Amino acid sequence: MEKELKNKNPDGETNVTLKEILSLMISGAPEDVKLVSTAYEFAKKAHEGQMRLSGEPYFVHLTGTAKNLAKMMQADAQTIAAGLLHDTIEDTLVTPEILQKEFGADILFLVQGVTKLAKIKYQGIERHAESLRKLFIATAKDVRVILIKLADRLHNVMTLEHIKPEKKKRIAAETIEIYAPIANRLGMGQIKGALEDAAFPYAYPKEYEETKKIRQIKNQEALEQLENIQKQLRKRFAKENLTKVTTDFRIKHDYSLYKKLQRNNMDLTKIYDIAALRIIVPTVEDCYRVLGIIHNTWRPLPDRLRDYIAVPKINGYQSIHTVIFTGDGGVVEVQIRTEKMHNEAEYGIASHLAYDESGKPDSGGLMGKKLRWLNQLIEWQKTVKGSKEFLENIQLDFFQDQIFVFTPKGDVIELPQASTAIDFAYAIHSDLGDHVAGAKINSKFMSLDTVLKNRDIVEIQSRENSKPTYKWLEYAKTSFARRKIKAALGEQEESKKKSQRG
């Protein structure tokens, strides 16, 4: 909902028509068509006379948001209607009472969930932090709130060219640092990539231009190699009587490519997945069968097989990734998955939305598991007072790239990258963290400052007389562990003072 409004006489057509939005909806039921159509006309009238800095009617933003919801999130009619109405309370004379009367309590809740806080009470960074807190709490009650916010943000960041340079850079950086990671945590690969790519040129213009040049060098070569592999594979699949197979090419998003180049010191020769061949088959058994055919035809690159079907990523992503030598000096990545896995990779949590009898998303079962991190965030944010600390810590603890580490029993503990054994102990339980005496990582005793890697198995040794030290503050990377250590050290200092006085 970042925007610049000014009043003009409304003229000109909107970029996205009602017909286009309706054609993208997953449901064509008469009641759904009627709801979205009514919301479309209501929003158009409510925002009449409001213009964007581009000179377009402000209504263009609302229809763009609705289109994103229908196309990229497969949203239901209520969510699309709320997307059309999401700025009515904030920017028009429409009151919550009017909105509830016209569209019901559920749509009012969705609209209020993405409505920012009053400017009078909150300013600058405080307003942004408090708006995020409000957004997370609303999302925990109805996940559709965050879908609307992401669709809204995507349209705004795709139309940044008319905004002042300093505001443009702030919105773009915020998109990359907060909103794209939220989409990632929800498993929504399609919208995560779109958010990052739209923001990249404005947040980091120099790096964007550099990445674009690198891509131009490699793209054509990679696509030619993939086309050749694809032709050979189709022949092999026909011989093996694998007929229900879909193949296409996946081009790596610009910002994702830049981050990978960064991790490899901008060395293009170490990047194998600028373009990848994607193979979609009916069943999990077919995935492994295809993998066998590929490895029997081309030599796989050692240590580059990733089985995210057997061990999914933290956000639920499933696929098999392998890298093969093409035989002509090239190396390419191949991704293998089922249609269900592909839909989940593209739409994430939106593909799991199931509704209870009242029409609201069911928050239990699989949905509850996928939103566990959000409930942890809400509990955690109650302990953080300052707005600056809140924003810094959510980026560190919740929106940084994550790893998953196993307990000896096979339970998965999710941590930010660069976390240590100390962070792991506190993530399990505060009391365990306060009494850490040692750690076994993959069955070997290691120091407490050892940086954990994805899929490490960690066993914490504890002793009752073991207590946090100031050195532990250097070891701990998560804000949660650091706060607990500081609290324990404070108690130790207070206890010392009491004993000295006594």
pLDDT of residue 446: 94
Q: In this predicted structure, which of 152-166, 385-399, 422-436, 476-490 has the lowest mean pLDDT?
A: 385-399
Q: Of the residues 90, 102, 130, 414, which is catalytic?
A: 90
Quick check: 355 pLDDT over 80?
Answer: no
Cα–Cα distance between 326 and 349 in angstroms, integer?
36
Map out the domains of the chain with their CATH numbers. Answer: 6-202 (1.10.3210.10), 206-347 (3.30.460.10), 401-501 (3.10.20.30)
355 versus 481: the higher-pLDDT residue is: 481
d(CA 495, CA 52): 61
> Are 493 and 467 within 8 A, CB to CB?
no
Return all residues near 314 (Cβ < 8 A) that are at least 6 apart.
185, 402, 404, 412, 414
Residue 486: both structure tokens together: 């500081």
Q: Which residues of 16-35 are buried (b: 16+ CB within 10 A; e: fewer)?
A: bebeebbebbeeeeeebeeb
Is residue 95 over pLDDT 50? yes
Round to whole Å and give the CA distance between 226 and 323.
12
Q: What is the mean pLDDT of residues 464-470?
A: 91
Region 308-330: what's the mean pLDDT?
88
Please list the residues that pair with 414 across neighbouring strands: 404
Rounded to whole angstroms, how far apart are CA atoms 63 and 47? 12
pLDDT of residue 137: 86
With 0-12 / 13-18 / 19 or more C-beta atoms within 10 angstroms meaning exposed / middle / buried, residue 143 is buried
- For the cut 80, the answer to whether the pLDDT of residue 6 exceeds it is no
Asked if 233 contacts 217 with a C-beta cutoff of 8 angstroms, the reply is no
Q: Which structure tokens are listed for 108? A: 């009012």
The Cβ-side half-sphere exposure at 74, using a 13 Å CA radius, reads 14
Output the pLDDT for position 357: 53
433 close to 481: Cβ distance less than 8 angstroms: yes
Task: Please give the share of the chain, as a percent, with pLDDT higher than 70.
Answer: 91
Burial (CB < 10 A; 0-12, 13-18, 19+), residue 340, is middle
Query: d(Cα 196, Cα 211) in Å, to the nearest integer?
Result: 13
pLDDT tens for each residue of 137-158: 888 888 899 999 999 999 999 9
> 487: which 2 tokens?
């609290």
- Which pLDDT does position 366 carry in this prediction? 57
How far from the centroid of its chain's Cα atoms is residue 429's Cα? Answer: 26
Output the six-digit token pair for 188. Answer: 């929504």
The beta-strand segments (E) located in 368-435 are 402-406, 412-416
Per-residue pLDDT tens over the stretch 395-441: 767 777 778 888 998 887 888 888 999 999 998 888 999 999 999 99
Summarize pLDDT for 185-216 with one digit per residue, the tens.
888 999 999 999 999 999 999 999 999 888 88
Mean pLDDT of the chain: 86
The yes-or-no verdict on residue 167 having pLDDT over 80 is yes
Mean pLDDT of 313-332: 88
Is 416 in contact with 397 (CB distance < 8 Å)?
yes
Which CB contacts under 8 angstroms, 24+ apart, belong to 249-254?
Answer: 249/223, 249/275, 249/276, 249/277, 249/278, 250/275, 250/276, 250/277, 250/278, 250/335, 251/219, 251/275, 252/276, 253/193, 253/196, 253/197, 254/196, 254/197, 254/200, 254/208, 254/211, 254/212, 254/215
Decide if 186 contacts 179 (C-beta within 8 A). no
Whether residue 370 is predicted with pLDDT greater than 70 in this model: the reply is no
Averaged over 221-238, what is the pLDDT? Answer: 88
Say if residue 120's pLDDT is above 50. Answer: no
Please tell me the least confidently modeled range out of 69-83, 256-270, 353-367: 353-367
Predicted confidence at residue 297, as pLDDT, reads 93
Predicted confidence band at 166 (pLDDT cuts at 50, 70, 90)?
confident
Per-residue model confidence (pLDDT) at position 8? 39
- Out of 125-139, 236-250, 274-288, 476-490, pick the least confident: 125-139
Rounded to whole angstroms, how far apart are CA atoms 92 and 315? 37
pLDDT of residue 9: 35
Please name the helix (run of DSSP H) or strand (run of DSSP E) that holds residue 248, with its range, or none.
strand 246-251
Q: In the chain, what percentage of residues exceed pLDDT 90?
A: 50
Residue 339 to residue 64: CA distance in whole angstroms: 28
Tell me which DSSP letter residue 478 carries.
S
Arithmetic mean of pLDDT, 216-245: 87
Alpha-carbon distances, residue 230 vs 223, 277, 291, 357, 362 (angstroms): 10, 8, 14, 46, 41
pLDDT of residue 150: 95
Residue 91 appears among annotated catalytic residues: yes
Would strands 50-51 and 6-7 be described as parallel, antiparallel, or unpaired? Answer: antiparallel
Give the pLDDT confidence of 50-86 residue by residue, as tens digits: 998 888 899 999 999 999 999 998 899 999 999 999 9
Instruction: Give me the catalytic one of 20, 48, 56, 91.
Output: 91
Q: How far apart are CA 402 and CA 391, in angstroms?
A: 17
Average of per-residue pLDDT across 452-458: 90
Instruction: Give the Cα separation of 234 and 493 in Å (integer).
Output: 70
Mean pLDDT across the stretch 8-20? Answer: 61
For the whole model, what pTM was predicted?
0.81
Residue 442, SS3 per DSSP: coil
The whole-number pLDDT of residue 290 equals 96
Average pLDDT over residues 324-330: 85
pLDDT (average), residues 492-497:
79
Per-residue pLDDT, averaged over 212-227, amounts to 81
Evaluate the CA torsion angle 21, 24, 28, 31 in order and state its sign: negative
Is the pLDDT confidence value at 264 over 50? Answer: yes
